[in-house]
Structure formats: structure tokens, C-alpha cells
Structure 1
Amino acid sequence: MPKKTTIALLVVPVFALAACGSGGQEPTGGEILSAGSPSAASATTKPAAKEGKGAFYDAQLAYVRCMRQNGLQDWPDPKLSGHPDWDRIQDIQRELQKGSNLRAGQEKLTKAMRACMDLMNVADALAPKQDPAKLYEALLRHAKCMRDNGVSAFANPKKEGNAVIPGGDPNPANPAFDIESPAYERARQACKDLLPDGSDQ
């Protein structure tokens, strides 16, 4: 990944597909492994325990409101499915990285995520589970599309037990491509409809 994507790692991995942190639990069927989340939070606004898609949406909305209350007023509402709007979140990340704002933006984002961590975990626990086989096949098609559209080093997803590890840069420590480049953005836009809901990159 390029050196300018430090903030992105705080919210999503290079090709993050999870809306929230794992809350310390082991992956379950169809779960997508994520890069982890900041710790500590206040649970004063934690929603009551419910189940179903409506509960997932409500939990994500509570998390969004918390992020806004903690300095990120433009944090977007979840989609109707309950999943985050990653396109708009990435726009916010880019804005925080502009000019000399990188360090201040990183600190601002980290502070908000720490404050809202409990709400992230609530939403994570309510997230609909996906069939691992179908999820893997969908991500495989997406990886091929990315390569066909010019990102030749885009790696296939992998399976680890019942968890699916998304594809992307085969070695983030030594990036094979620049996710901030116009070429990558064109490929991302061309292939994003192949991603299952909740796995926007």
C-alpha cells in the first residue's frame, strides 16, 4: 500500500470488507477477516440487544452517530442494508490526509474510533453472516476483474477455515500497486459491482 494510506488502515485493511472490529472473537462461518480495531470505549449509547437486519442497521447507525459526536461530523449513514458506505468513508479519509493534515487527521480518526469501539462491536455481532463458498467465489470474480482492468498484481482471496481473507496487494509492506492512483481507482469503479454488499473496497 502507498505510504499515504496510514489512516485507511485504521478503518479498513487495504481491501477491507468488514464494517467493524471483531471484538476479540474467533471468525465464524462466512466472516471476513479484518485488520483489527482500536480499543476502549463508552457503552452509554449501546443499543438494546435485538436481532435481524433492522437491529444491524440500528447498531451501525448508533456507531455513525457516535463518530459524528466525536469530531467526524461528515461520517456517512450506513446503507439500507446496514453496511457502511465505504466510498464516502474513503473520501473522508482522503480529506483528512490532505496537505499537512496527515498527523492531525490520523489522531482525530483514532480518537473517534476509540470512543466508539463498543458500538462497533455491537454492530459486528449483529452483522449478517455470509456463505463462505459464495463469498469466496464473488471475491475471486472481483480479483479477476481488477487484474483485467489493469491492476495485474491484485491477488486472489484466500480461505482460512470458515473465514475468507480478501484479495488485494500480495505484500502490503512492499506495495505492488498504488491504491491512490487514477489507474487503480478506474479499476475499482469498474469492478465494485462484483463485490457482495458489505464488502466495498
Structure 2
Amino acid sequence: MSRKPRNAAAATGLLLLLVLAACGDTPAPPAVASAESPAAPTAATAPSALTRYVDAQRAWVGCLRKEGHNVPDPDAKGHVDLGAYLATAKIPKTDAGFVAAQRACASLNATVPAELEPRQPVTPQQLEYRRQYAKCMRDNGMPTWPDPGPDGEWPQDGFGGELTPAEQEANMRALQICDPVLEGKPQGEYDPSKVVNG
């Protein structure tokens, strides 16, 4: 199988970043809806957009379950509580099996429709944390990790391919070390015992 080595490691890192956002551990924009503050869409578009989104999230959950992770169903707004699943299953966010499942199901993970939950702009401080995070990832074995755009969003196009075992190990190490940086904290330490192969 052909792959794009310059982009593969970044793709997995970006995927895990979305997982972390869904778990509420980073200031990144949420990957799934939260029911707190949806926008006020028109009556004609809201139900169909919400229905399509919830259905897409159900398909994503079904894929994760086929990959061996019994994540909960989405709620009425499409939110999937990955944090609760990880706590109950007693696996870390960087579990290799869970990351592999996320990667396998990535094409089914829908983004929140703008009419349901418009993204809040990142603050200048959050943007700086994201830039520091990108540098940290590059400095710790992920040389193709991209910088965020001026709006704080991570580039989503051009990623693909499979990680080699060495790239996967580098990815897990960098994520552990750099995860605190997204919250403005110092870099963490790598603890191989926290990476559970599943």
C-alpha cells in the first residue's frame, strides 16, 4: 500500500487532537456538539441538519464499536462522551488501539454543522498555545506537524497513509510530552507505561 510519509504522522496526531478536544482536555474547538449553546438556525434547516449530524455520529460510534471500543451512543445533539468511555475502560487517551480505531473510523466522524454550533474564535493566547504545541510536536519526533492557521484551526487536507511502527511510537511519545502545552503548561514527561497496546 502506498502512503504519504510526510503527512501520515501529522494525520494521526491531528486525529488524536480531535479526540482530546472531544474529551474536553484541550482548548481546541470541539469535535462533537455540546448541547449548551447551539445557534438559532432557521426552522427549515435545523431539524434536518441535526438529524443528519446525529445519524453520522451514530455511524461513527458503530465503527468504533466494530474496532473493539464500546463508546456510548451520541446524545440528542450528537455529542459522544469519549472521556467517560476512556475513564470507564481505564485506558489512556494515547492507547495505541484506541488511536488506531479513531484513524480507521475518521472518515465517519462528522463535524458539527455550523448552523447548530458555530465555532468560537480562539483567543490570541489559545493561538499562541497551539503554535507552541505544533513546535513541541515537531521537536519531539513529528517533523511534519503543521502550525495552526491564523484562525487557530488545524489544516485538515492533504493527510493520509498509514504510520509505521516507529512513526506510531514517535507519535505517542510526542502526544504525551506536548499535551499539557495546549493548556499553557510546561511540557510533560514521556512514560511508556501509559501507552497500552490494544
Q: Normalized against structure 2, the TM-score is what?
A: 0.41
Q: Normalized against structure 1, the TM-score is what?
A: 0.41
The structure with more helix, counted as a fraction of residues: 2
